Amino acid sequence: MMDRQLPWLIAGLGNPGKDYAQTRHNIGYLVTDLLAERMGERFTKHRRAHADSVEGRLDGTRAVLIRSRSYMNESGAAIRAAADYSNIPISQIIVVHDELDIEFGAIKIKVGGGDGGHNGIKSTKKSLGSGDFYRVRVGIGRPPGRQDPADYVLRSFGSSERKELPLVVDSAADAVEVIINEGIAVAQNRYHSK
């Protein structure tokens, strides 16, 4: 159940550093970058979590954005530390991440479920002690041919994908705002149909 007195925590999953900045695995970072821009704020070092964060309002609703400074497979600890610091319950945590099993550009929203082999989700579930957080899953599609999925997610988007990427990131950021202001059912109805 939502508590309007407490802020939302929105965690964008990715890997730190310039080498990973424009890779498929970092789409969560790209979405939180856009949300920070919408807030008119910049990321700074979080007081307690090993992460960068922004605090502000998204369409009038208090929110904390975070990006772990650890690699994907250890990102859950920063999410837990940020949630504990701001007293944010799991019911008001949204994790934005890439999803191999969804076609590029599609967005799916859910609460709970397995980790689907995603190391960032696996780490988050372990750190929070539950998987019952919101997930904005941004499709990156399966790798072509026999390319290793681990190699595929760490590569930059293709040229045709790069043209569409700003619209995809914009839609994912919109989906986050709809969840916090209108609820998951509205967000699912609006974004799953695309």
pTM here is 0.95
> Is 46 tagged catalytic?
no
Whether the CB-CB separation of 164 and 30 falls below 8 Å is answered with no
Axis-axis angle for helices 76-86, 119-128 (nearest 10): 40
Mean pLDDT for the stretch of residues 9-37: 96
Q: Tell me which of 46 and 194 has the higher pLDDT.
A: 46
Whether the CB-CB separation of 56 and 50 falls below 8 Å is answered with no
Q: Which CATH class is domain 8-191?
A: alpha beta
Confidence of residue 193 (pLDDT cuts 50, 70, 90): low
Look over the chain and give the mean of its residue pLDDT values, rounded to a whole number.
94
Report the C-alpha gap between 183 and 173 in whole angstroms.
14
Confidence of residue 59 (pLDDT cuts 50, 70, 90): confident
Domain residue extents for the chain: 8-191
Render the burial of 107-142: b for 16+ CB within 10 Å, e for the rest: bbbeeeeeeeebbbbbbbbebbeebebbbbbbbbbe
Confidence of residue 6 (pLDDT cuts 50, 70, 90): confident
Render the burial of 172-183: b for 16+ CB within 10 Å, e for the rest: bbbbbbbbbeee
Mean pLDDT for the stretch of residues 189-193: 87
Query: Per-residue pLDDT tens for 85-132?
Result: 999 999 999 999 999 999 999 999 999 999 999 999 999 999 999 999
Whether the CB-CB separation of 54 and 41 falls below 8 Å is answered with yes
**pLDDT for 3:** 60
Mean pLDDT for the stretch of residues 44-69: 95
Share of the chain above pLDDT 70, in %: 97
Mean pLDDT for the stretch of residues 14-18: 95
Contacts of 32-36 with CB under 8 Å at 24 or more apart are 32/65, 32/66, 32/67, 32/96, 34/169, 34/170, 34/173, 35/10, 35/63, 35/65, 35/173, 35/176, 35/177, 36/65
Confidence of residue 77 (pLDDT cuts 50, 70, 90): very high
Catalytic residue among 25, 46, 97, 118: 25
Query: Per-residue pLDDT tens for 120-173?
Result: 999 999 999 999 999 999 999 999 888 999 999 999 999 999 999 999 999 999
Axis-axis angle for helices 184-191, 159-182 (nearest 10): 150
Mean pLDDT for the stretch of residues 27-43: 97
Q: Which helix (H) or strand (E) holds 52?
A: strand 51-58
Position 188 pLDDT exceeds 80: yes
